[in-house]
Structure formats: structure tokens, C-alpha cells
Amino acid sequence: MAATSTCVHTTGTVATPNSATCEECGSGSALRVCTECGHVGCCESQLAHDTAHFEASGHPVIRSLPLSDDSFTWCYACANYV
């Protein structure tokens, strides 16, 4: 997915995912990884543990899993794909 905004929150690095499933509910699909600390959470179409992590930690940038050239990057602070 192409970037649609300029984001000052991205660092160009992605932390190693802490888990192969959502750390809160164990879901194995539609996962997102926090680029700062590696927290893995499920997306908004499930229980939104990725959003809950942002709200609790202040870490704004996530990548979709599995990590690949096709993974998208989202910034909660900018409310946009980057």
C-alpha cells in the first residue's frame, strides 16, 4: 500500500514481533506489530488490541503482519497510512 502522508513518527525500523499471536487474546489473524517495542495486537476488526496498545503506551506506528514488502504501516498519531 502506498504511503498517503508524511509522518514524523516513523523511524524506518521495525522491532521484532514479541509473539506469533495477539498478546492479549491469542488471535492468529489480522495482526499488527508495534514498530517501537514489538508488541503484537489484533486489529480493529477483532478486539482492537493494537489500538489499545497505542493508547496505553503512546507508541504510534504499527505494521501489518506478516512483515513483508506488502505490509502496510499505520500511524495512530497522524491517523494515516505512511
Q: What is the pLDDT of residues 17-54, one digit of tens each?
A: 999 999 999 999 999 999 999 999 999 999 999 999 99
Q: Can you count the helices (H) and strands (E) in the chain?
A: 1, 5
What are the beta bridge partners of residue 36?
none
Class of domain 31-81: alpha beta
Confidence of residue 78 (pLDDT cuts 50, 70, 90): very high
Q: Distance of CA 82 to CAs 9, 58, 65, Å? A: 10, 17, 16
